[in-house]
Amino acid sequence: MRNRATPAKGTTGHTQRGQCAKRLSILEAAADVFCRQGFAGASIDEIAAEACVSRQTIYNHYREKETLFVAVVDDVINRANAMLFSVLSSFPERADNLEGDLTAFSFRLSKNCVCNHDGKFLRKLVQTEGEHYPHLFESFRQQGPGKLTNALSALLARLSQSGALVIDDFDVAARQFVALGNADLQLLTLFGATPTDEQLESAARNAVRTFLRAYGRPALTEPPQLTVIGV
Amino acid sequence: MRNRATPAKGTTGHTQRGQCAKRLSILEAAADVFCRQGFAGASIDEIAAEACVSRQTIYNHYREKETLFVAVVDDVINRANAMLFSVLSSFPERADNLEGDLTAFSFRLSKNCVCNHDGKFLRKLVQTEGEHYPHLFESFRQQGPGKLTNALSALLARLSQSGALVIDDFDVAARQFVALGNADLQLLTLFGATPTDEQLESAARNAVRTFLRAYGRPALTEPPQLTVIGV
DNA sequence: GTAAACTTAGACAGTATTGTCTAACACGTC
DNA sequence: GACGTGTTAGACAATACTGTCTAAGTTTAC
């Protein structure tokens, strides 16, 4: 009642910032350990050590191991979805410089959604624990890869209205665009390696080149072979 | 010395057949449980129950849990490699009916190597335990996906000598062929579901159609659009 | 029928882990 | 300086699992 410089948030200012930092530290460490060891193999003590936090603090914030796991997955899914949305919004709207724009988009998709920390985490955890926690990953299933191909399908449809693309089935084309983007990276990511930017760029180039050979308007993709004669 | 109908193998006949059955039963059950629960989550008791065998029998055959795990992975890798070799040998040699033959090949590859029991097991276990047992899966890495794209690269090179395919980089094309074949199945296999034959066939058709649009000789893939006019 | 080999159920010690509890400690507000 | 909130280290019971051991049972070969 006396002096209220920060009426509502004042009382919980610094304390909550500390709490918040602890929570984040725990989430981060737990994601790492769960990703490395799986749910069964991860021990609370290991997470506590990696988060530089006492075991009791973890139990204070997240009642039990499973609650913590759910919170971690939820957190990563939210971050990954936000990133996916952001990358999708950068899909080219016009068809001038189609190959360059699509290549850059494929590169961003691989780097920020597929091969990044969260993407690796989700791929691994869905494989490891997907059957034990189907409800937990369902939102990922629908909003992650499912949303990606749906959104991409619509974006390809809009883009092909200009006539630069000749696509009969947009859903199939969307899935193939993603698949081609991963074609060169599959072997690298299989064992958890993180591709370099050069590898990501090369993969994106190869993917888009083939995608446009298949779906690009013939007049735009074929001529190089013919005009070369004149050189 | 008395009566030797089966001189060398006679002494170990039925016993070893019984032993052999137990070993197989254990290997099979262990593969299932390891696949479901991962190495840390799998318990010897559960494996013993699923194999209808006493726990001690497992310890008699495979000294400890890790030995059993290694044996299981080894067994599955060998089976998977044999199957991969068999499917690769059915790659079309001639270019008449190219689309049909490649589609059938892609179907076989998906059904018998990627989406089958062993393929699912290996994908999951490599993700789960690949970092803990790098040496164990290295042979898989090299002889599995690596061998597949290498062999496919060579087969595509041979096939394109006839002029039916126009491929600049055979390695890239091989990886893309595999990636396209999985494009429609990725979402299904992500959660462990096994695609139906109809889904596998549809996926193979879509994959090969796009692959040939990109790499098929223009004269062979484009005409349908033109001849339709005459119908 | 007998002996050898294999299998089984159960007890067992050793270890690791989860989740609870307690008492001391740190830090900020009043 | 007193108080409340949040943190820490450690002890603790309960549980589960691995790997060993033993004594019995079963199968197979001769």
**Domain annotation for chain B: domains and CATH numbers:** 8-62 (1.10.10.60), 70-220 (1.10.357.10)
Calpha distance B71→B64 (Å, rounded) = 11
As averages over each run of 10 residues, the pLDDT of chain B (231 residues) reads: 31 54 94 95 96 96 95 94 96 95 98 96 91 86 88 96 95 98 94 93 98 84 41 38
Q: What is the mean pLDDT of residues A30-40?
A: 95
Chain A residues closer than 8 Å to B123 by CB: 127
B165 contacts: CB under 8 Å, gap ≥ 6: B95, B98, B156, B159, B215, B216, B217
CA distance B72 to B211: 36
Q: Which of A130, A112, A21 is nearest to A73 (CA)?
A: A130
Distance B47 CA to D13 C1' (A): 29
Inform me whether the C-beta atom of residue A158 falls under 8 Å from chain B C-beta atoms: no
In this prediction, residue B93 carries a pLDDT of: 94
CA distance B183 to chain A (A): 5
pLDDT of residue A139: 83
Mean pLDDT (chain A, rounded): 87
Burial tier of B142 (Cβ tally within 10 Å: 0-12, 13-18, 19+)? exposed
Cα A174 from Cα A152, distance rounded (Å): 6
User: Considering only alpha carbons, which residue of chain B is nearest residue A212?
Assistant: B214
For B54 and D10, how far is CA from C1' in angstroms? 40
pTM score, whole prediction: 0.87
Residue A63 in contact with partner chain B when CB distance is under 8 A: no
A22 touches strand D (CB under 7 A): yes
Residue in chain B nearest A189 by alpha carbon? B127
